């Protein structure tokens, strides 16, 4: 009743009340928003959705060992022998296990869920945040979980801040990360052209896309025409 009255009253002056959409959509881009009734960011909701998703798929492994071996060679070719790397959003920790095997250096994984404590070299940590000891001290970063970010601009800046100059941040981007695939669990979706544009724009001359690498072993793409790339971003 009050709502109807307010609506009609406002419409007389050319205003309308609309529900805040739960996602931002632009051509080639989708980002789910987690908003409390008072309009502020609902971090607890985001975190709980991620933790529930993590626990429901705790035995799944998306990363592929051959691809990690391929990336290890690439990292050595571009930046030399690394000492320290971080993988972000690692669930049961396979990618840090494989990077350690091929690179013979210290590699840790971050995981937002409390399941992190069950897996070696994994810490419970939200990848949008940084630790002081990581800043300008990390040789490489790898993630196939960028689509789980609630704020990809903040997230990528945080990751790049950790890199040494010349260090690589390798982001897996596949057709499963297209805007139409975004959900509350995978809040960020972008098509390939858009993500390359966004990284270039957000980089502001401090980082840029160095190379787009075809993923050697593609698995679980949702359709036959799917694509899979590693986007190698380099800190300048
Ligand atoms: C698609 S799964 C990928 C898991 C693993 N990398 C693999 O290859 O199987 C995404 C993982 O990222 C975790 N995650 C989501 N948001 C995160 C965040 N903000 N910080 C750290 N981990 C996060 C999820 O809990 C989940 O385990």
Domain count for the chain, please give it: 1
Q: Is the CB of 111 under 6 A from ligand 1?
A: yes
Residue 5 lies in a domain: no
Residue 99 placed within a domain: yes
Does residue 39 belong to any structural domain of this protein?
no
14 φψ region: left (φ > 0), alpha (ψ -120 to 50), beta (else): left
Q: Has residue 45 been placed in a domain? A: no
Query: Is 38 domain-assigned?
Result: no
Q: Quick check: is 176 in a domain?
A: yes
Q: What does the pLDDT read at residue 202?
A: 98
Q: What is the DSSP letter of 21?
A: P
38 burial type by CB count under 10 A (0-12 exposed, 13-18 middle, 19+ buried): exposed
Asked, for residue 136, whether it belongs to a domain, the answer is yes
- The answer to the question of residue 227 being in a domain is yes
Q: Which two tokens stand for residue 156?
A: 């990528």
The span from the CA of 184 to the CA of 180, in Å, is 12
Q: Please report the pLDDT score of residue 165 as a whole number.
A: 98
Dihedral sign computed on CA atoms, order 199, 196, 32, 177? negative
Nearest CA, atom 13, ligand 1: 89
Backbone angles phi, psi at 215, to 5 degrees: -70, 125
User: Which residue range is the domain that position 65 belongs to?
Assistant: 55-235
Domain of 113, CATH number, reads 3.40.50.150
Q: Kindly report the protein residue whose alpha carbon is nearest to atom 19 of ligand 1.
A: 126
Predicted local confidence at residue 19, as pLDDT: 63
Mean pLDDT for each consecutive 10-residue tract of the chain (236 residues)? Answer: 77 75 93 95 98 98 97 98 98 98 98 98 98 98 98 98 98 96 97 98 98 92 80 98
Any atom of ligand 1 within 6 Å of the Cβ of 173: no
Q: Is the dihedral of CA 218, 219, 223, 224 positive or negative?
A: positive
């Amino acid at each position: 009743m009050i709502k109807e009255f307010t609506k009609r009253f406002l419409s007389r002056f050319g205003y309308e009340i609309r529900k805040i959409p739960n996602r931002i959509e632009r051509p080639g881009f989708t980002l789910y928003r987690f908003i409390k009734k008072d309009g502020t960011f609902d971090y607890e909701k985001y975190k709980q959705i991620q933790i529930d998703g993590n626990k429901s798929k705790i035995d799944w492994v998306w990363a592929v060992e051959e691809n990690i071996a391929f990336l290890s060679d690439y990292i050595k070719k571009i930046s030399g022998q690394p000492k320290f790397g971080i993988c972000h959003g690692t669930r049961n920790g396979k990618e840090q296990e494989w990077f350690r095997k091929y690179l013979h250096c210290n590699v840790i994984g971050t995981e937002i869920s409390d399941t992190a404590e069950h897996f070696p070299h994994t810490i419970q940590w939200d990848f949008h945040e940084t630790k002081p000891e990581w800043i300008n001290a990390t040789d490489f970063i790898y993630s196939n979980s960028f689509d789980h970010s609630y704020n990809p601009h903040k997230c990528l800046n945080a990751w790049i801040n950790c890199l040494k100059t010349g260090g690589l941040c390798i982001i897996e981007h596949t057709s499963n990360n297209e805007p139409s695939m975004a959900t509350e669990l995978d809040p960020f979706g972008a098509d390939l052209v858009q993500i390359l544009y966004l990284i270039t724009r957000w980089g502001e001359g401090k980082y840029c896309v160095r190379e787009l690498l075809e993923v050697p072993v593609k698995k679980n793409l949702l359709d036959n025409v799917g694509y899979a790339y590693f986007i190698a971003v380099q800190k300048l």
